[in-house]
Amino acid sequence: MTRKAACLLFGVLLMTCASATFSFSPLEVAKPDLGVPFIIYGIFFLSPAQGLIAATVLAFSREILSSSPPGALLFASVGLVLSCIFLRSRLYIESRYTFALVCAASVLTESIIFLALSLFAKGETKDAYNVLIFSVPDSIATGFVALFMFAFFEWTGIRYMDRV
Amino acid sequence: MKGTFVIIAAVLLLVLSFLLFTNIPVFQKGYVRAKSRLADGVGPVLEAMKLPVRGMNLVIEEYIDLVGVKRKNRELKETIGKMELENQKIPELEKENERLKSLLHLVEQEPGKLIAARIIGEDVMNWFKCILVDKGRSDGIRERMEVITPAGLVGQVIEVNRWHAKVMVVNDTNSSVDVYVSGKNTRGIAEGTGQTTLKLKYVLKNDDIEPGDKLITSGKDAIFKRGFPVGIVINVDKNKAGLFSDVDIMPFNNFKKLDEVLIVSK
């Protein structure tokens, strides 16, 4: 339990560190979504409940470090958790590469969920171009980062606890 | 059974976040308060991370400077040639100088009204554009205060915590600023696109506007005071279908290269 909480805290710290780094780096095209690997690992390697807790905490942290409208990132993350719960018994992550691929696909799913929310809740499409233009580079960057994060999760030794 | 409970909890969270997104005041007030309490802890962490990150950035920049020194020398020689031509533009620069002097005069006249802040973080998502500054509630920062640099407008404060504040930059998709063209009667709304440039909306096709025109805040949106430079018109397309022209603006500030900003307290 303590190790899982520490792992989650590390995720929040990593996100804060990313925010500090982004303000100095000229790179604007791709910003990896550092919360996604934690959510995916939680759902597929621990339990859906752990995934939901990770999604809520990390989405909340992301909203603190972003100018997103209230609830938008929480909705996208919880939407991702629900779609992953349904895929849990159908999708098998056997290596770090599959994990990276799933993380990359999850970033795309999150952006689609966010766009659907903007469209249905406010009838706005002004974010569409902006979100879509960044989704692909973001997902590639997240996939790349997920390769290393998988190694970190393995190192923590909290995997395959009640894998279905 | 446990799985069903998780799905129910997730659906409830989904509904809650939907209600928050649709701006229902009861939900939003509590959420914003909770977020603000938690965000109080983020400021010191960002402050602590600023030093190593800034140091690392300095080392990288120094290295890049060394690598590019030859290329820079050649470029500088070309620049000298261009600058001789630029000298002809002195009257225009004098005008700009006057504008900047007036901004400086504003600082000298009301030193207490401008709060200098350093940038300590940036939006973690690139769907939105915000910066985090190292001044917060304890320094007198409040929501909706304008944020400027001597070059021009940066944005407005949207969230204030004890140690830091969040500034929505004018190129965020949720940002709109009422502006007018300097020296002309043309007015419009400068909207963020999420990209480097802004769009000037609601400019009629017969309005007097052309590339090179400078845009200044009009003060009519009740957020930004009149007179802050926003950007320069880079493209005007009057062949677009509809009543209005399609106008692109390049902001005076490069938001990726900002180190310090000034917050105008009310």
Minimal-distance CA residue of chain A relative to B38: A64
Asked if the structure places residue B26 within a domain, the reply is: yes
Asked if the structure places residue B241 within a domain, the reply is: no
Give the tokens for residue A41.
């690992």
Asked if the structure places residue A163 within a domain, the reply is: no
Q: Would you state the pLDDT for residue B112?
A: 58
Asked if the structure places residue B133 within a domain, the reply is: no
The domain tally of chain A equals: 1
Asked if the structure places residue B105 within a domain, the reply is: no
**Does residue A159 surpass a pLDDT of 50?**
yes
Q: At B83, which helix (H) or strand (E)?
A: helix B69-86
CB under 8 Å to B172, separation ≥6 — which residues?
A67, B128, B129, B130, B155, B192, B194
The candidate with the shortest Cα–Cα distance to A145, out of A44, A35, A61, is: A35
Helix/strand/coil for A113: helix
**Does residue A161 surpass a pLDDT of 60?**
no
Q: Mean pLDDT throughout A36-44?
A: 90
Assign 3-class secondary structure to B97-115.
HHHHHHHHHHHHHCHHHEE
Q: Would you state the pLDDT for residue B108?
A: 60
**Does residue A164 surpass a pLDDT of 50?**
no
Under DSSP, the state recorded for A161 is S
> What's the N-to-C CA distance of chain A in angstroms?
20
Task: Inspect the interface and report whether the beta carbons of A24 and B54 lie closer than 8 Å.
Answer: yes
Strand residue runs (E) in B193-251: 198-201, 214-217, 229-237, 246-251
**Does residue A25 surpass a pLDDT of 50?**
yes
Q: How far is B15 from chain A (nearest CA, A)?
A: 8
Which residues in chain A touch residue B38, judged by CB atoms under 8 angstroms apart? 60, 64
The domain tally of chain B equals: 1
Whole-angstrom Cα distance, residue B153 to residue B167? 12
Q: Would you state the pLDDT for residue B179?
A: 93
Residue from the list B35, B166, B173 with its beta carbon closest to the beta carbon of A127: B173
Asked if the structure places residue B91 within a domain, the reply is: no
Residue from the list A29, A75, A127 with its beta carbon closest to the beta carbon of B14: A75
Q: Mean pLDDT throughout A14-23?
A: 81
Low-confidence residues in chain B, pLDDT < 70:
1-2, 61, 64-65, 85-86, 88-89, 91-92, 95-96, 99-112
Higher per-residue pLDDT: A75 or B106: A75
Q: Would you state the pLDDT for residue B96?
A: 64
Q: How far is B265 from chain A (nearest CA, A)?
A: 21
Asked if the structure places residue A47 within a domain, the reply is: yes
- Report ipTM (2 d.p.): 0.83
Asked if the structure places residue B240 within a domain, the reply is: no
Averaged confidence pLDDT in chain A: 85
Interface test mutation site (partner B, options A67, A133, A139, A163, max chain B beta carbons within 10 A): A67
The domain in which residue A56 lies consists of 2-156
CATH number of the CATH domain containing A115: 1.10.1760
Asked if the structure places residue A161 within a domain, the reply is: no
pLDDT digits (tens, 9 = 90+) for B208-230: 888 999 999 988 888 888 888 99
Task: Inspect the interface and report whether the beta carbons of B129 and A16 lie closer than 8 Å.
Answer: no
Residue from the list B23, B39, B130 with its beta carbon closest to the beta carbon of A67: B130
Q: Which residue type sits at B26?
A: V
Assign 3-class secondary structure to B32-60.
HHHHHHHHCCHHHHHHHHHHHHHHHHHHH
Asked if the structure places residue A164 within a domain, the reply is: no
Asked if the structure places residue B25 within a domain, the reply is: yes
**Does residue A18 surpass a pLDDT of 80?**
yes
pLDDT digits (tens, 9 = 90+) for B133-185: 988 888 889 989 999 988 889 999 998 988 889 999 999 988 999 999 988 88
The domain in which residue B6 lies consists of 2-39
Q: Would you state the pLDDT for residue A27?
A: 65
pTM (predicted TM-score): 0.79
Asked if the structure places residue A8 within a domain, the reply is: yes
Asked if the structure places residue B32 within a domain, the reply is: yes
CA separation, residue B160 to residues A15, B98, B132, B141 (Å) = 19, 33, 10, 7
Q: Would you state the pLDDT for residue B110?
A: 57
| Torsion angle of C-alpha atoms A71, B176, B257, B88, degrees rounded to 10 | 170
